[in-house]
A = this chain, B = another copy of it.
Amino acid sequence: MTKGAASRGPFSLMSDNPRKYFEDFRVGDVIHCGRKTVTKDEIIDFAEKFDPQPFHLDEAEAAGSKFGGLVASGWHTCALCMRLVVDAMLKGSANMGSPGVENIRWVKPLRPGNIVSATVRVVEAVPSKSRADRGRLKFAFELTEEAEGLIMEMLATAIYARKPAA
């Protein structure tokens, strides 16, 4: 869990989640973000819209691929991880958006019936030199499957507003 004091901001969307500012994160903090079961229909629905390659879309063709069965698009894996992180810590926070992500590693394929959970670790916290109202946080995201272990990892940067003076 994150440490540090937290005040409830006027735009918080999560009544049970006090609004988090830049100052509420410390390097080394770990946030556990809940879990989700992935379904075949979700995998195919995402693939139809965004990544219609046969191993993401068609069970028969996927069975003959190097994956040996249907696997989620890597972008679906990222999006599912994001949803877990948004629900647990970004929604209602002072997050102002992200300039980018480093080093996505798709370590193992995500398959129908997999049960995944996300973890976020704070690896950098740097106040902006040019803009006193914000700072940059770097997070290590990990998506882990109950039986398979690590599925995906990445380093994501977010700009967070600093806490207003009391």
Type the 1/0 row for A45-72, where 1 means its CB is closer than 8 Å to any CB of B.
Answer: 0100111111100000100011100010
With A11-B54, A91-B52 in contact, is A98–B74 under 8 Å at CB?
yes
Tell whether A117 is near chain B: CB-to-CB under 8 Å.
no
Type the 1/0 row for A81-124, where 1 means its CB is closer than 8 Å to any CB of B.
Answer: 01100110011000111111111111001000000000000000
Who on chain B is nearest to A134 by CB? Answer: B66
Contact indicator A50/B97 (Cβ below 8 Å): no
Known: A52-B86, A102-B102, A102-B104. 11 other contacts (CB 8 A): A11-B54, A52-B83, A52-B87, A55-B97, A75-B75, A75-B78, A79-B79, A97-B106, A99-B106, A100-B105, A101-B103
Q: Could you list 12 A-B pairs, sorted by A, with CB under 8 Å?
A: A13-B54, A46-B79, A50-B82, A50-B83, A53-B86, A53-B91, A74-B101, A75-B78, A97-B106, A100-B105, A100-B106, A101-B103
